[in-house]
Amino acid sequence: MRYFPIYYDMQNTSVAIIGGGEEAAQKLRLLKKTPAEITVFATSLNAELEDSYKNNLIKWQREEPTEENLEPFSLIYAASDEDENETIAQIAYRLKTPLNVVDAPDLCNFITPAIVDRAPITVAIGSEGTAPVLARMIKTKIEALLSTDIGNIAKKAQSLRHLVAKKYTSFEQRRNFWDHLFKDVFAGATSATIYQNALDDLSQKCETTDTTKLDAPKETSKGFVSLVGAGPGPSDLLTFRAARALQSADVVIYDRLIDLTVLEIIRRDARRIFVGKTPGEKCTSQDEINKHILNEANKGLRVVRLKCGDPLIFGRAGEEMDAMKEADIEFEIIPGITAANACAAEANLPLTIRKDTRALIYLTGHSAEGLTPYKWASFATKGVMLVLYMGVKMAPKIQANLLAVGASPKSKISIIENGCKEGSRTFTSTLGRLSQEIKHNSISNPAIILISVERQMVSIDENRREVINVNEAD
């Protein structure tokens, strides 16, 4: 280990930045998060630095940096041209002042790592200058695991330290208290909730003088459930909050189409329960899924119900929410990228166009009774984009219904099979050829059907329910 990681106290610290361009601005962005007094040495400033100067966030020295005027500073960042940076390096060495030189690791005696900032919680990732891009990628992974609220949790914990020290007499008792308190941090609990739970626990301890009962707060009888949207495919489409929930889960109840890369994010010692539903085959019923959720939550466990896409869009989340409300189990919903959005993005297909497509309607082509009984006439309107989930089997009936109420057979369609997955296929055609395209290309679920509705001039005989073409000239 050439570079020893260390945290430097920036309170009452003065920092000099040499240079007035983009490299200097990059250093300033990070330093502005500290309480340090910052002075920039430059003959001119770029727009960002000038804005900071006008807002009294930095001092500006237009004179040339010398050994004399750099001596008062605790840290120096050199972000100028190569010649000036070398001059500043020589001055810093004589002054024995810690120096960082942009893109010149051999001149540095300290480096700034990639930083995950959740102050006062911070994580520093360094590669000793060998692979800064890799360090930034690692930073992105860690960003996904740490909520933006975790810093507030640390601050609230600090405010409780004197109470904890007063109520718990031994190190082991205090450690047990903090272990129990922080177990909810990575499950999405807010700082306010964690703080209130701590106050409740401490309040209960005030009523007892028996220190043997202070070893740890009692576990609650019921757990917590997260309904998590996994998106339509690989793990890089997960939200940060979804990844945190998977990392903290005791049990994960997951669907058939969940991508393997998503399952790899789950905590290794978490138990997994498969409840996939395969069309046309015996599968886990929704009642059984609800029972799994309730049984695990009633054990006091952290449960993740992992669904493809977004749980609130054709994910039957409403039924699971009702079951949890009835059982008085706390839950949260973590939205995911729904299949229509992700598949359309992968195929470079806009779902709305300002002048031409101004309405977006999500439909399911399948219900327990077969084709969902819609009022199809309300959809056969120019400027409407229909997004059909689970519509492959019912495509002939969907096609017939839309044509029967006046949708033009020339309406453009796109069929995206296995969107965002390996082997994804996209087909474009017209509404009049929807059934033929599915049959000819052997398209199967999962697939999304997009229909950009055009309207034909028609009159409908209500008795025969047939489309009669009308000559526009008449």
255 is a catalytic site residue: yes
Tell me the average pLDDT across 76-82.
Answer: 95
Label residue 206 by pLDDT band (50, 70, 90).
very low
pLDDT, one tens digit per residue, over 82-99 is 999 999 999 999 999 999
236 is a catalytic site residue: no
Residue 58, sorted as left (phi over 0), alpha (psi -120 to 50) or beta, turns out to be beta
Q: Is the pLDDT of residue 216 over 50?
A: no
How many angstroms separate the CA atoms of 435 and 49, rounded?
61
How many angstroms separate the CA atoms of 316 and 305, rounded?
11
Q: Is the pLDDT of residue 300 over 80?
A: yes
How many angstroms separate the CA atoms of 248 and 335, rounded?
17
Tell me the average pLDDT across 311-325.
Answer: 94
Label residue 212 by pLDDT band (50, 70, 90).
very low
Q: Which of 139, 155, 156, 277 is catalytic?
A: 277
Tell me the average pLDDT across 22-34.
Answer: 94
pLDDT, one tens digit per residue, over 135-158 is 988 998 888 778 888 888 888 888
Q: Contact 232/342 with Cβ under 8 angstroms? A: yes
What 3-state class would DSSP assign to 338?
coil
Burial of 138 (0-12, 13-18, 19+ CB in 10 A): middle
Q: Look at 165-169, 200-204, 306-310, 333-337 and tell me which has the smallest mean pLDDT.
A: 200-204
Q: Contact 37/13 with Cβ under 8 angstroms? A: yes
* Count of C-beta atoms within a 10 Å radius of residue 228: 30
What 3-state class would DSSP assign to 388?
strand
Label residue 174 by pLDDT band (50, 70, 90).
confident
Residue burial 147-183, b: 16+ Cβ < 10 Å; e: rest: bebbbbbbebbeebeeebeebbeeeebbebbbebbbe
Quote the pLDDT of residue 20.
95
Quote the pLDDT of residue 367.
66
Q: Which of 201, 250, 255, 310 is catalytic?
A: 255
* Sequence letter at residue 146: L
Higher pLDDT pick, 1 / 313: 313
DSSP for 101-126 reads ETT-GGG-SS-PPEEEEETTEEEEE-
Higher pLDDT pick, 201 / 448: 448
Q: Is the pLDDT of residue 465 over 90?
A: no
Residue burial 230-248, b: 16+ Cβ < 10 Å; e: rest: bbbbebebbbebbbbbbbb
* For the ranges 45-54, 149-158, 459-468, the one whose mean pLDDT is highest: 45-54
Q: Is the pLDDT of residue 219 over 50?
A: no
249: CB partners within 8 A, 6+ apart: 187, 226, 266, 267, 270, 302, 303, 304
How many angstroms separate the CA atoms of 47 and 42, rounded?
13
Tell me the average pLDDT across 224-230.
Answer: 94
Q: Which of 375, 471, 367, 385 is nearest to 431 (CA)?
A: 385
The pair of structure tokens assigned to 258 is 């969940």
Q: Is the pLDDT of residue 420 over 70?
A: yes
Residues pairing with 59 in the sheet: 39
Q: Is the pLDDT of residue 328 over 50?
A: yes
The rounded Cα 4 to chain-centroid distance in angstroms is 32
Residue burial 410-436, b: 16+ Cβ < 10 Å; e: rest: ebbbbbbbbbbeeebebbebbbeebee
The rounded Cα 134 to chain-centroid distance in angstroms is 20
Quote the pLDDT of residue 470.
34
Inter-helix orientation angle 171-182/150-167, to 10°: 150
The percent of residues in the chain predicted with pLDDT above 90, rounded, is: 54
pLDDT, one tens digit per residue, over 434-445 is 999 999 999 998
Q: Give all strands (DSSP E) within 9-72, no chain letters.
A: 14-18, 37-41, 59-61
Tell me the average pLDDT across 114-119.
Answer: 90
Greatest Cα pair distance in the chain: 98
pTM: 0.65
How many angstroms separate the CA atoms of 89 and 97, rounded?
10
How many angstroms separate the CA atoms of 462 and 190, rounded?
58
Cis peptide before 65 (omega within 30 of 0): no
Label residue 163 by pLDDT band (50, 70, 90).
confident
Q: Look at 129-133, 252-256, 321-325 and tell me which has the smallest mean pLDDT.
A: 129-133
Label residue 278 by pLDDT band (50, 70, 90).
low
Tell me the average pLDDT across 11-25.
Answer: 96
Q: Is the pLDDT of residue 460 over 90?
A: no
Q: How many CA atoms lie within 13 A of 100 on its CB side?
A: 20
Quote the pLDDT of residue 439.
94
The pair of structure tokens assigned to 413 is 């369609």
Quote the pLDDT of residue 186.
67
Q: Contact 239/336 with Cβ under 8 angstroms? A: yes
Q: Which of 91, 100, 130, 86 is nearest to 30 (CA)?
A: 100
Quote the pLDDT of residue 190.
73
pLDDT, one tens digit per residue, over 371-417 is 777 888 989 888 899 999 989 999 999 999 999 999 999 999 999 99
How many angstroms separate the CA atoms of 41 and 16, rounded?
7
Q: Is the pLDDT of residue 197 over 80?
A: no
How many angstroms separate the CA atoms of 153 and 373, rounded?
50
Please give the mean pLDDT across all residues of the chain.
Answer: 86
